[in-house]
Structure 1
Amino acid sequence: MRWDDLRRSSNVEDFRSRSGASGSRGAMRFAVPIIRFLLGNKYGRVVLLVGVIAYFLGYNPLSLLAFLDTSPTQEKSLSVPSAKDNKTAEFVSTVLAQTEDIWHPIFRKNDLVYEEPKLVLFRGSVNSGCGHATAQIGPFYCSKDKKIYLDMSFFEDLQNRHNAPGDFAQAYVIAHEVGHHVQNLVGLLNKSHTFKKTASKKDANTLQVKVELQADCYAGIWAHSVKAIMEEGDVQEALNAASAIGDDTLQKQAKGYVTPDSFTHGSAKDRMTWFSLGYKRGDIKDCQTGI
């Protein structure tokens, strides 16, 4: 993918130099004496109860205390990203800019206004609008704050653990998460969240697969729109990535067998099929997965 001369997005928030683990330790140092103080009076216990409720709703009250910690331990936790890491960050910013350029006219064509998402780069862990998250969960989109969260180590895993190298494989992942943002803007994510509150686990998983496959199709629409800067083999890189992170592929690697009822993202075949459909057609109307 020829991207060096393309514009970068201004919607990237770079938290790579922050340490979520150290920040949490610092917050705990502040939290212990505060909790003791609050337990000592009636109103304090009410505040603690509110904090517990907030925690179970997905918000981490300790994250507020992390900003107060200016100890030497926290300062030492800051790291300087490598040149390779910075190059990857530039690439992410460029892909995000391309998605912005593509979704604005698509929304205008449908008499809608596209609101650009923010993309947060981090390493290790991060506090999002949807709660505390670690690198283990992979890239994700939070509908509450309309941000995409990307741990830089995922691209390393994509190449080394999942055997899906290449810049276009990485671009596919970013475009997929932007696809979730599109779903959020048009109300499809809220619709799916409402359904899953009362659905059985099997039905909820089935709907979530449809959500993920549509995001794959939207990623294909992005690829369709950047054909002018693509190089030979780029589409195959994206297809390899879609296959490598298919539910059946991951389950076979983890436990040696597949349980389709537990799928939440779709099989390798389905993920490749829906990405290919978006890439070939380039039309959002062809991405109806039944949500």
Structure 2
Amino acid sequence: MIKSDISNPFSAQVVAELLEKLRQTTPRVHCITNAVAQELTANVLLATGALPSMTIAPEEVEAFAASADALLVNLGTLDDVRRAAIPKALQGARAAGRPVVLDPVFIERSPVRCAYARALLSDAELRPDIVKANAGEVACLPELADLVEAGWLVLATTGATDRVSAGRHVVPSPIHLFNGTELLGRVTATGCALGALIGAFVSVADNPDIGAAAAISVFNIAAERAAEHAGGPGSLMPALLDELYALQPKDIELRLKFSLQTSMENRQETVI
């Protein structure tokens, strides 16, 4: 088993160790996610070594969330059933001490959805541990900066460069991550699947910021490898699942690109 070097809390070695731990422990992530994302999300978790559960039935979702190792709340389909299920799932996860990932999909396009996300962030009993969002979504949640700074949650901001920010952890914050492929933007629900994978990694990590950064790195490195032999978006997804299944420590060592520099102007990319 790969051992962590505590003097270097985020590295290819640490990412590979967490991937190995995930594969050995097969954590289950309960996913309340949007309708177009369910199949891909389940397959990404299974290919990487985790297990999905997907029920949104209000009468059973609390028990599912409580017995899972992590919970994903994705707002991409905020219908009446999911509105009823989300608080129950959060209560179940919170009672069991499970990490919660919030993916506030397209809140910049829906005032109703944005208000719902802000209500979750303002509720100390139901607040998520990790928010995964793009820059447009983050801009709609001004309270995020204070919550991150106070150490109440970790923010994973996705984009051309991914960034994981935490307020009170040992890792210099934010961690900048430079892996990925533009082809991911040509297939629906890849970001939604990543949210679930973050939950899986956080459930086996000591620090949620390290877990989130490891999940993003594994997903994007596998996507890079898949893109090299995919003919386009249609063949990217089967190839991505195969790469997630087959990914080895040496692949992470060869490809991982990140920086712990807080200044992007003077960043030093670390290729391990």
Whether these two folds match at TM > 0.5 is no
Structure whose residues are more often helix by fraction: 1
TM-score calculated relative to the size of structure 1 = 0.29
Structure whose residues are more often strand by fraction: 2
TM-score calculated relative to the size of structure 2 = 0.30
